[in-house]
Amino acid sequence: METKNDKEKEADKIKSHEHEIPEMKTSENNPSSYKFKPGMPNMPNMQGIPKTPEISEEQRKEMEKTKQKLEDFRKQLIKKYPYVLAIGILPPQAAESFEEEEDVPEAERKQKPMHLVIIAPEEKLKEIPKIKLELIKQTKDMKPKIWLHIKTPVDVWNYGLDGKYDMVSAIAMSFPLHDKGILGALRVAEIHKTLVLRKFERYVASYVIAGSLVRGDVVKTSDVDVYVIIDDTDVKRMPRLELREKLRGIIFQYVLEASELAGVRNKLSPQVYLLTDFWESVKDAHPVIFTFIRDGIPLFDKGTFTPWKLLLKMGRIKPSPESIDMFMSMGDKLAEIIKRKLLDIVVGDIYWSILTPSQALIMLYGLPPPTPKETVPLMREIFLEKEKMLEKRYIDILDKVVKIYKDYEHEKLKEIQGTEIDSLVKDVEDYMKRLKELRKQIEKRAQEKTIAQIYKDVFQLLKGLFGDKAEQALINDFEKEFIKKGKLPSNYLEILKDVAKAKEQFKKGKIARHEVEDARKNAYLLINHLIEYNQRCEIVSLQRGRFRLKAKGKIYELVLTDKENFLIDKGKVSRIDLAKKKIADSSAEELTKALGEQSKKPEITIHENLFNVLKKELGEFEIVL
């Protein structure tokens, strides 16, 4: 009989969909070191990246020949058609889909050819038949037999729009012989999508790619923009924002894992939306959402995103009157700026060139972005009076420029002399030079705080799990409990060691800014895993005080806490009063409060009076295990 509160039930509901993801192994357990030899039967696929099978020496030699032939083919192709975006070997299990699409003759299918996908720019579409004819002649006598599929990026995106997600997946997971960035970007998105769907497919309404990948200007270092829309319409007990943050945390946890498995330098940038919020943005004509719907390509969709895209294309999704008014008002502001254009160029440029960097340093210090009005007082309060990091003359320069701008803005300033402009420019140059030095000072302090905080957070969590021990002992316990038992990937041990190492390197002044940021990002992933593990331990500890009783043909649930004891009969909660030796009325709220107040690892004590009271109230009973 369940007695958890609504939030716990909803959390369990989510956990019931959190299937274990099979381990995706690569050579020597290093994702980026995966080596595929052309002709191998086990291409990378959506079931995980398999280990290389044992092969004979004769097979090895044959594969080396095939590899050399493919390399020669690649070189000739790129030399003649340097604009080709990518060449990949399609996974064998995808062959049937591509053969059916292109009506490959049965006789050709029986030969089980190796399928190559070649992606050419859209502007070369008219040349594709000619290119294909020449390449067929070139590969006519190759063994194994080659079947060519020449596509443009638009062809690939159309697969997604037509719901043929397996075709996009096959191209994404093809082995790259040549890639200017499109295959790598697709691959990291596809792997991330697979990890997310295996964890909680029920809550994912759409998984969509957008940005430079779809626009056609992706390179090997481009960010890969993906959008995950979470269906919150079926969530009744857990708050919607809590659901989003829970799933968002898991989605971001998989970013690093997907990048490692894909073996690319592209940074995956997920955006997570609730379905209800997303629809509100569509109705309000939010420019970002409109652009996303217009350009986005679904890699997975439950009939949510694609209809929106079609409706937008048909002109059936239109901006609200409020959004039109908002955009129209921008025109009014522009007209006002044009009227004062000359003075604005002179004073405005100086004002923003000094104000914006000042706001940036306030944000670097750790405060929210200040308004222009707040900037001067905050610069004075923080860097002059509190931290004593900036001299008064620089605050005076900032204050002077701001006052001149305010006079101009309120039309008190009608004109300005050239000599005054020269003086302002010189002062601003001095100010900016000093701000660059101040930035270094702030960054050093911020790095120190960051390293200290992540070190404290990580090792406090470890102490909570393993006790108050020295640093190295905690690292050893972590390796023994989490790494050797396979609870976390081996790279998390390196992350833990890097956190400890970063603290020492900072003391010696031997750590760069990007290394601090990398340590922070990696520590964030580790902290999330440790918190999740700790929470699971707490849930297990709560179950220690639960028993089922059978009396007079009925089943009761007995809940023991370190302060009170409760008996539950078909949802009705009663409290066992040991002092008065009777069962009194209670409520679910009282039970929830008692569970919430008990210690993480309660020592449950069963008093003799407990069984006497139960026997008195229920008669003869037995504990059901």
| 618 has pLDDT over 70 | yes
User: What is the helix, strand, coil percentage profile of the chain, to 5?
Assistant: 60, 15, 25
Residue 2 pLDDT > 50, yes or no?
no
Q: H/E element holding 136?
A: helix 128-139
What are the pLDDT digits (tens) for 596-609?
666 555 566 677 77
pLDDT at residue number 18? 41
Higher-pLDDT residue of 506, 471: 471
**Confidence at 625, pLDDT banded by 50, 70, 90:** low
What separation, in Å, do the N-terminal and C-terminal C-alpha atoms of the chain show?
13
Q: What is the mean pLDDT of residues 105-116?
A: 87
Top-ranked range on mean pLDDT: pick from 236-240, 442-446, 548-552: 548-552
Choose between 315 and 341: higher pLDDT.
315
pLDDT confidence bin for 37, thresholds 50/70/90: very low
Which amino acid belongs to residue 579?
Answer: A
Average pLDDT, the chain: 80
- Given a contact cutoff of 8 angstroms between Cβ atoms, the answer to whether 611 and 619 are in contact is no
What is the predicted pLDDT for the residue at 166?
93
Mean pLDDT of the region 177-201: 93
Predicted confidence band of residue 391 (pLDDT cuts 50, 70, 90): very high
Q: What is the pLDDT of residues 437-463, one digit of tens each?
A: 998 888 777 777 778 888 888 888 888
- Please state, as a whole number, how many other Cβ atoms lie within 10 Å of the Cβ of residue 542: 18
More confident residue, 396 or 329: 396
| b/e sequence 306-338, b meaning 16+ C-beta within 10 Å | bebbeeeeeeebebeeebeeeeeeeeeeeeeee
Query: What count of Cα atoms within 13 Å lies in the side-chain half-sphere of residue 491?
Result: 13
pLDDT of residue 454: 83
Does 375 score more than 60 pLDDT?
Answer: yes
Mean pLDDT of 565-572: 83
The answer to whether residue 28 scores a pLDDT higher than 50 is: no
Could you tell me if 295 and 314 are in contact, meaning their C-beta atoms sit under 8 angstroms apart?
no
What DSSP line would sit under 513-535, residue for residue? HHHHHHHHHHHHHHHHHHHHHHH
Most confident of 13-27, 180-194, 454-468, 528-542: 180-194
Statement: residue 122 has pLDDT above 70: yes
Percent of the chain at pLDDT > 70 equals: 81
In angstroms, rounded to a whole number, what is the distance separating the alpha carbons of residues 453 and 218? 37
Question: Which range has highest mean pLDDT (142-146, 430-434, 601-605)?
Answer: 430-434
- pLDDT of 544 strictly over 80: no
193 contacts 299 by C-beta, under 8 angstroms: yes
Task: Decide: helix, strand or coil at residue 147.
Answer: strand
Mean predicted confidence (pLDDT) in 379-386 = 92
What is the pLDDT confidence band of residue 537, given thresholds at 50, 70 and 90?
A: low
Question: Range with the lowest mean pLDDT among 3-17, 99-113, 528-542?
Answer: 3-17
Q: Which residue has the higher pLDDT, 208 or 584?
A: 208
| 220 and 180 Cβ atoms separated by less than 8 Å | yes
Q: Where is pLDDT greater, at 43 or 144?
A: 144
Q: What is the pLDDT of residue 415?
A: 73
For residue 322, pLDDT beyond 70: no
- How far is Cα 224 from Cα 73, in angstroms, rounded to an integer? 30
Collapsing DSSP states into helix, strand and coil, what is residue 578? Answer: coil
Q: Report pLDDT for 45.
A: 43
pLDDT value of residue 55: 61
Grade residue 120 by pLDDT with cuts at 50, 70 and 90: very high
- What pLDDT is stored for residue 344 in this prediction? 64
Asked which of 91-100, 378-387, 504-513 is least confident by mean pLDDT, the reply is 504-513
